[in-house]
């Protein structure tokens, strides 16, 4: 898990790996971080790794945004 706090923009980014998303302790920690920063009027974004091919997903995303 990686957490990036951008105080200037009041944004918290939480990046989870595939193994992180299956871990109950990580899930509890994410919930705690969200609660803490919500009280400080920050926006929280949680990014979770997927299972698809990065190349295929990127190609599809680029093609759909042309």
* Cα 19 from Cα 9, distance rounded (Å): 29
Mean pLDDT of 12-29: 93
Tell me: the pLDDT tens digits for 38-64?
A: 999 999 999 998 888 889 888 988 999
Over 90: is that where the pLDDT of 25 sits? yes
The pLDDT, as a whole number, for residue 31 is 96
- What pTM value is reported for the model? 0.76
Give 14-43 as a DSSP string. Answer: EEE-HHHHT-HHHHHHHHHHHHHHHTTT-E
Phi, psi of 43 (to 5 degrees): -95, 140
Lowest-pLDDT choice from 2-11, 16-25, 50-59: 50-59
CA distance 58 to 24: 30
Reply yes or no on whether the pLDDT at 35 is more than 80: yes
Contact in structure between 12 and 42 (CB atoms under 8 Å):
yes
């Amino acid at each position: 898990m990686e957490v990036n706090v951008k105080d200037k923009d009041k944004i918290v980014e939480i990046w989870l790996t595939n193994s992180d998303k299956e871990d109950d302790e990580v899930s509890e920690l994410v919930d705690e971080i969200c609660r803490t920063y919500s009280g400080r009027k920050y926006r929280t974004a949680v990014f979770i790794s997927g299972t698809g091919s990065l190349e295929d997903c990127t190609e599809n995303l680029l093609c759909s945004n042309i």
